[in-house]
Amino acid sequence: MQEPTAGERFLNGLLPENPTYRQMLGLCATLAVTNGVKPAFTMACSTGFVLICANAMISLMRKHLQPHLRILIFTLTIATFVTVVDRLLQAFFYPMSQQLGPYVPLIIVNCIIISRCEVCASKQSLPIAIADAVGQTLGFLIGLVSLASLRELLGNGTWCEFEILPQSWPRWRILMLPPGAFITFGLTLGFIEWFVHRKQRA
């Protein structure tokens, strides 16, 4: 099989290998922060920053990686960038960092990042690794913001904290609660599976 080019890797991240809907990685963060578009957006950007930086770093070091020490180095790199993001958020977006709470430090264990380090960045050159990371980031952003939009709109009548639905529209509060995350994610996932299979059959 031919190795995908940088462009293909970028496009793959958006939908065909979307981290949320197709790979189903990083679900802890996905379920936890999608009760609003703003926290979801911040989370996707933070994860994206860590992902791109870690991928670039690992790609630069790939010739020196020892197979049995590679996971250690991945984790070390990721943890450093996560700490940097956490501090930056606290310094410049204090209310948002309070709202995201423990989920920013938890980016360290987000499987998207370590899987991209393992699958792509540790084997590919810098441009390909960055293209891959950017594609995955955008894919994660699409996943998080689409879920958050549904939940915030139906659950709170707002989008990005702007009032969209009239006050008379009943708010489906359950969608803002943890069960709502599972319900919305399950139904959206089912819809996308159905869509993909329909396209494949056609």
Partner 1 sequence: MQAHPLKQASLVIVLATVFALILAAVQLGLRDRIAQNKQAQTLSQIPLLLPGADLKKTVTLKAALEQKTIAIYQAFDANDRLLGYVVPAQGAGFNDQIELLIAYDPSLQRLRGISVISQKETPGLGDNMTKPAFTKSFAGKKPGQIHAVQPGFAASETEIDALSGATVSSQSVCNIVNRVTQGLRLQGGQP
Partner 2 sequence: MTQQTPSEPLLQVAPSPHLHASHLSTQRVMLDVLIALIPVCAVSCWVFRWYALKQLVLCELTALLTETLCAALRRRKSPVWDLSASVTAVLLALSLPWNAPAYIAIIATVVAIGLGKAAFGGLGFNLFNPAMVGRAFVMLSFAREMGASGYVAQVPGLDVISQATPLTAAKQYVAALASGATVADSVQTAFQNIPPLSDLFLGIANGSLGETSVGAICLGGLYLCIRKTIAREIPVCMLLTAAAMLGLMQLLGFTDDGFGALHHLGSGALFLGAFFIATDPVTSPLTRRGRCIFAAGLGALICLFRALSSYPEGVMFAVLFMNAMVPLINRYTIRKPIGGPVPGSAASPKA
- The entry of partner 2, partner 1, none that residue 84 binds, CB within 5 to 8 Å by partner kind: partner 1
Residue 159 pairs in a beta bridge with 162
* DSSP of 50-117: HHHHHHHHHHHHGGG--GGGHHHHHHHHHHHHHHHHHHHHHHH-HHHHHHHGGGTGGGGG-HHHHHHI
CB of 34 to partner 2, least distance (A): 17
Q: Does 202 bind partner 1 (CB under 8 A)?
A: no
Among 170, 199, 201, 202, binds partner 2 (CB under 8 A): 170
Distance of CA 14 to the CA centre of its chain: 11
Cβ 73 vs Cβ 61: under 8 Å: yes
The footprint of partner 2 on this chain (CB under 8 A) covers a number of residues equal to 12
- Chosen residue from 7, 90, 186, 193 binding partner 1 by CB under 8 A: 90
Which range of residues in 16-24, 47-55, 65-73, 131-139 is near partner 1 by CB under 8 A?
Answer: 65-73
- Of the candidate spans 19-27, 37-45, 81-89, 141-149, the one that interacts with partner 1 by CB under 8 A turns out to be 81-89
Cα gap 89→136, rounded to integer Å = 22
Q: Which does 190 bind (CB under 5 to 8 A by kind): partner 2, partner 1, none?
A: partner 2
Cβ proximity to partner 2: between 94 and 194 the closer is 194
Cα 82 to Cα 3, 79, 106, 159, distances in angstroms: 30, 5, 8, 28
Tokens for 30?
């996905």
What do you get for the CA distance between the two ends of the chain, in Å?
A: 25
Applying CB under 8 A, the residues found at the interface with partner 2 are 170-175, 177, 179, 183, 186-187, 190
Applying CB under 8 A, the residues found at the interface with partner 1 are 61, 64-66, 69, 72-73, 76-77, 80, 83-84, 87-88, 90-92, 94-95, 98, 155-156, 171, 173, 176-177
